[in-house]
């Protein structure tokens, strides 16, 4: 086994040292999965040339547009990614969208290896009546809005016309949103929150936030650090129904098996015991609502277009499925929460592109250890030569930044193995145009590509603007501004 591993790595290095015939690799998506893949590939294959394309003029995916503005320390990872981007054998092509600027088959013709890591840029839907009413947003849109993603610059959430917001889901994204809605804006003003969002939050009339989970406190999908943080918001009234904290023997087993679940339950129990009976006048309120699933959204009047509340069905857990697998089933008992704003934080979903095998049920690209699987004529699955996947597109929309490091290691190991076993054509025998070919193609299509130096101009301008306001950066949040500064 050791011998075999040595053989693989020696051969991969030998193969890669022909600088005149580099292995041309294109990574699609510059989030954590894309950058970890590029870094690992550059380290493992000395002769590899890696181009990272992203549909935005800015790199770093959800580290820039997802991670909450009051989590600045998490964003330090971009320094590591920037070192990869400026390395000699790496190039960044911003403002290049797979599917519109260039097709998948074109990329596969231009490169020996294409690694898809373009994340999950859509949303799971509930499929219940009223889901299209005004005032209902996907968590992704709201997060993009406060993080200055150019696609949601104009969202204008209805923060001034209601005193309460309902968040459906109890994962970490839901907690991020609750924190942004409830935290004093004075504490957000020194973060890199988009200024349009800060101004809107300063004028927000929302005082009550309901975090609704279809299961119980033992199954809440958040993690302890994030829960502690939201519970620790200054002068916040926290409401948790004591009845919801009753646990079954199956819950006990779940807590025994998972330290995270136990910790969450303990934090919630402690918060329920230490709180006051009711909120003081003017105090902001956070209500945890467990064992309730959304049944429909309520409109302002018959045929009205604005949401005014959510009808919820009480649930109980089906314990036949055993510890760790309990699911919520409706009991036929209903109640509703009045609210002019609803945020659906029930998970993200990937968007397929033409020519890419896609599992619509799971919302991922079918793969074995990162090798994209297509179908033979007889329907049997087989790996698509030279096509790989990584990150949320590979595993589904779960996991923290570091999870993508392990994910990238697995995908790169598959690439290395395929090179060794000859299932990838040798760059010596089949040179490909790679970077030069892509640049020519994009030029012929008048795509205004943004190189990493263009991003560095954006970065410098954002930092300059931020320094005037005591913020780490003031994000440029429109396509026009971003492209203008990048192309100066
Ligand atoms: C709201 C939120 C907050 C989070 N906070 C944290 C946190 O605090 N700490 C933590 O560890 N983890 C956090 N995570 C999880 C972490 O962000 C993810 O694990 C990680 O970003 C997933 O990496 P990815 O590269 O697969 O996708 P992404 O980060 O989404 O990157 C995908 C990239 O692909 C690009 N792209 C999309 N479509 C195309 C296309 N057609 N052509 C070209 N490019 C395209 C996008 O512009 C993007 O740059 C958070 C997640 C969310 C949703
Ligand atoms: N600070 C951080 O580290 C940080 C911050 C943000 C995000 N992240 C990570 O990013 C990933 C994505 O987070 P996420 O919050 O989007 O997803 P998530 O953790 O999967 O949570 C999704 C939530 O939606 C609920 N849900 C799903 N479908 C539903 C339905 N049909 N009806 C009602 N509720 C439904 C789930 O309940 P069930 O449990 O019952 O399915 C769960 O509460 C996670 O891995 C998260 O940890 C990390």
pLDDT digits (tens, 9 = 90+) for 88-124: 999 999 999 999 999 999 999 999 999 999 999 999 9
Supply angle C-alpha 332, 335, 337, rounded to 5.
145
Global pTM reads 0.95
331 and 386 belong to one structural domain: no
325 and 406 belong to one structural domain: no
331 and 383 belong to one structural domain: no
Whether 6 is in a domain gets the answer: no
Is 170 annotated among the ligand-binding residues?
A: yes
Whether 18 is in a domain gets the answer: no
Tell me which residue of 482, 488, 484, 485 sits closest to 57, measured CA to CA.
Answer: 482
Whether 468 is in a domain gets the answer: no
107 and 41 belong to one structural domain: yes
Atom of ligand 1 nearest to the CA of 399: 19
Please state, in angstroms and rounded to a whole number, the distance separating the CA atoms of residues 104 and 325.
38
Q: Above pLDDT 70, what percent of the chain?
A: 96
Q: Average pLDDT, whole number, for the chain?
A: 94
Atom of ligand 1 nearest to the CA of 99: 41
Residue range 264-279: mean pLDDT, rounded: 92
Q: Considering every ligand atom shown, identify the ligand nearest to the alpha carbon of residue 211 and give its number.
A: 2
Q: Which protein residues touch ligand 1 with a CB less than 6 Å away?
A: 28-34, 53-56, 61-62, 66-67, 71, 74, 97-99, 117-119, 121, 143, 173, 176, 391-392, 399-401, 403-404
308 and 411 belong to one structural domain: no
Q: Which of 19-23, 81-85, 197-201, 457-461 has the lowest mean pLDDT?
A: 19-23
Residue 337 parent element (H or E): strand 327-338
- pLDDT at position 31 is 98
> Domain with 78 in it: what CATH number?
3.40.50.720
Tell me if residue 53 falls in helix, strand or coil: strand
Final residue of a structural domain among 305, 326, 347: 347
Ligand 1, pocket-test mutation among 118, 191, 228, 388, most atoms within 8 A of CB: 118
311 and 162 belong to one structural domain: yes
Please state, in angstroms and rounded to a whole number, the distance separating the CA atoms of residues 480 and 461.
14
Tell me which residue of 424, 409, 372 sits closest to 393, measured CA to CA.
Answer: 372
> Domain with 136 in it: what CATH number?
3.50.50.60
Contacts of 299 (CB under 8 A, 6+ apart): 130, 133, 305, 306, 307, 308
pLDDT digits (tens, 9 = 90+) for 330-383: 999 999 999 999 999 999 999 999 999 999 999 999 999 999 999 888 888 899
- What φ, ψ does residue 58 adopt, rounded to 5°? -115, 140
Whether 460 is in a domain gets the answer: no
What is the residue with the minimal CA distance to atom 27 of ligand 2? 346
183 and 148 belong to one structural domain: yes
How close is the Cα of 225 to the center of ligand 1, in Å? Answer: 20
Whether 338 is in a domain gets the answer: yes
Q: Which protein residues touch ligand 2 with a CB less than 6 Å away?
A: 124, 126, 168-174, 176, 213-215, 219, 221, 226, 293, 345-348, 397-400
271 and 381 belong to one structural domain: no
246 and 339 belong to one structural domain: yes
Whether 1 is in a domain gets the answer: no
Final residue of a structural domain among 347, 373, 393: 347
Final residue of a structural domain among 283, 317, 347: 347
207 and 264 belong to one structural domain: yes
Q: Which two tokens stand for residue 403?
A: 């999870």
171 and 241 belong to one structural domain: yes
At residue 132, does pLDDT exceed 70? Answer: yes
Tell me which residue of 343, 340, 344 sits closest to 158, measured CA to CA.
Answer: 340
User: How many domains is the chain built from?
Assistant: 2
Whether 402 is in a domain gets the answer: yes
Give bridge partners of residue 23 from the DSSP assignment: 48
How close is the Cα of 66 to the center of ligand 1, in Å? Answer: 7
Domain that holds residue 201: 126-347
At residue 449, does pLDDT exceed 90? Answer: yes
Quote the longest CA-to-CA distance of the chain: 76
How close is the Cα of 391 to the center of ligand 1, in Å? Answer: 8
Structure confidence at residue 18 as a pLDDT band (50, 70, 90): low
Whether 17 is in a domain gets the answer: no
At residue 16, does pLDDT exceed 60? Answer: no
317 and 398 belong to one structural domain: no
Residue range 446-469: mean pLDDT, rounded: 98
């Amino acid at each position: 086994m050791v011998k075999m591993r040595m053989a693989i790595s020696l051969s991969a290095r030998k193969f890669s040292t022909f600088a005149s015939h580099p292995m041309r690799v294109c990574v699609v998506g510059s989030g954590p999965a894309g950058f970890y893949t590029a870094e690992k590939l550059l380290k493992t294959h000395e002769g590899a040339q890696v181009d990272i394309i992203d549909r935005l003029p800015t790199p770093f995916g959800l580290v820039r547009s997802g991670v909450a503005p009051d989590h600045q320390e998490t964003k330090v990872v971009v320094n590591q990614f920037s070192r990869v981007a400026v390395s000699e054998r790496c190039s960044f092509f911003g403002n290049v969208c797979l599917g519109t600027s260039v097709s998948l088959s074109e990329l596969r013709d231009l490169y020996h290896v294409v690694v898809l890591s373009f994340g999950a840029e859509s949303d799971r839907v509930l499929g219940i009546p009223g889901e299209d009413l005004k005032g209902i947003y996907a968590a992704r849109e709201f997060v993009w809005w406060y993080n200055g993603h150019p696609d949601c610059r104009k969202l204008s959430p209805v923060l001034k016309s209601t005193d309460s917001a309902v968040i459906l889901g109890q994962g970490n994204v839901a907690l991020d949103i609750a924190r942004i809605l409830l935290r004093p804006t004075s504490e957000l003003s020194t973060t890199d929150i988009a200024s349009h969002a800060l101004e809107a939050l300063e004028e927000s009339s929302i005082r009550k936030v309901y975090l609704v989970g279809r299961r119980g406190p033992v199954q809440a999908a958040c993690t302890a650090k994030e829960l502690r943080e939201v519970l620790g918001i200054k002068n916040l009234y926290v409401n948790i129904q004591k009845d919801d904290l009753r646990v079954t023997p199956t819950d006990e087993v779940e807590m025994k098996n998972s330290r995270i679940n136990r910790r969450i339950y303990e934090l919630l129990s402690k918060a329920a015991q230490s709180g006051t009976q009711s909120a003081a006048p003017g105090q902001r309120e956070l209500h945890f609502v467990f064992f309730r699933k959304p049944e429909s959204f309520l409109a302002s009047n018959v045929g009205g277009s604005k949401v005014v509340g959510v009808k919820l069905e009480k649930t109980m857990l089906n314990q036949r499925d055993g510890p760790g697998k309990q699911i919520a089933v409706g009991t036929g008992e209903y109640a509703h929460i009045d609210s002019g704003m609803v945020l659906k934080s029930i998970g993200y979903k990937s968007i397929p592109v033409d020519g890419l095998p896609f599992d619509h049920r799971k919302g991922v690209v079918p793969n074995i250890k990162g090798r994209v699987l297509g179908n033979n004529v007889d329907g049997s699955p087989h790996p698509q030569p030279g096509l790989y996947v990584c990150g949320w597109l590979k595993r589904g929309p779960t996991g923290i930044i570091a999870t993508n490091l392990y994910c990238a290691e697995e995908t790169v190991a598959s690439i290395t193995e395929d090179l060794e076993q000859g299932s990838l054509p040798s760059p010596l025998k089949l040179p490909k145009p790679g970077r030069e070919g892509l640049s020519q193609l994009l030029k012929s299509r008048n795509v205004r590509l943004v190189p990493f130096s263009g991003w560095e101009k954006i970065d410098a301008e954002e930092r300059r603007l931020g320094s005037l306001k005591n913020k780490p950066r003031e994000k440029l949040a429109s396509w026009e501004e971003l492209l203008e500064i990048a192309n100066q």
